[in-house]
Amino acid sequence: MQGSLSLFPEEYRVTEQDGRKYTRYCLLSAGILVGVYGLAILPILPLAALPIAVLLLLPRWMINFHELLHIYDQQQINPVIRLMGVSPLPLSVISLSYSQVRTLHFAHHAAPATDADPDAYHIRGSWPQSIFNAFVSPEQSAIRWIAKHGLTLQLSLDLATKLIILGGLTWVGGRAFLWLWLSLRLVYGLGDIAFFRMIHHREGEYGTFALPLPSWLLASGELIFGQTVIQATIHHDIHHQNPRIAARALAAARDDAIAAGTA
């Protein structure tokens, strides 16, 4: 199915309306997560509400953030999303912002799962190696970026802002912050494994593959995480072949390609 978007109906194309929706969902996820954190601190909600909230909200941020990378540059993106990058709250004091993640993501698309892919370190190699790298990918990506490109003033300011945010969350939350942060790191690491290793590695081969799921797991996943999260993951090979197809249309694009004999 490699080729032009003109092979598909115009309604498959990602639109400004999609961009506004993805932005809204990111900000809504962040707002709800901060709200749950506040309620757990008070404490109106139990601390156990935090991992549940992270499980429901972080994957939504991650996928909507990913979709935004293909719509807006760093001047167009919402400033909160621009600062935070891959998570609605800082995963680390050493993590990249939207601009750097977008550059790395486009390089990933140019040479997915090859040695030239900047994400190769958490795709290639043994399973234990890729799993470990997935859980420390925020720091690894940042360190690798700074080693190659240096530390700009804007990135320095972003890192300082994230340090202040993490410090503030720790100061107001105490033990609740540990619940929040460990939940963020666990869910993010698992999501990284699914979105990189599992999609780009299959039976000892590297590439970009579909991730078929049993119907019951597909329905459960969409109920828990939302349709965009699941569709953008299981049809990620279609996305790589044509990144301008909106996540909502990936399944239809696959069906069209199968019917045309090009998939």
Percent of the chain having pLDDT more than 70?
97
Q: What is the value of pTM for the model shown? A: 0.93
- What is the structure's pLDDT at 110? 96
89 φψ region: left (φ > 0), alpha (ψ -120 to 50), beta (else): beta
Q: CA-CA-CA-CA torsion for 120, 126, 132, 135, nearest 10 degrees?
A: 50
pLDDT digits (tens, 9 = 90+) for 224-252: 999 999 999 999 999 999 999 999 999 99
- What is the structure's pLDDT at 263? 62
Query: Would you place residue 3 in the very low, low, confident or very high pLDDT band (cuts 50, 70, 90)?
Result: very low
Residue 21, both tokens: 């929706």
Residue 74, both tokens: 């760093």
Q: How wide is the angle at C-alpha 29 spanned by C-alphas 201 and 251, nearest 5°?
A: 45
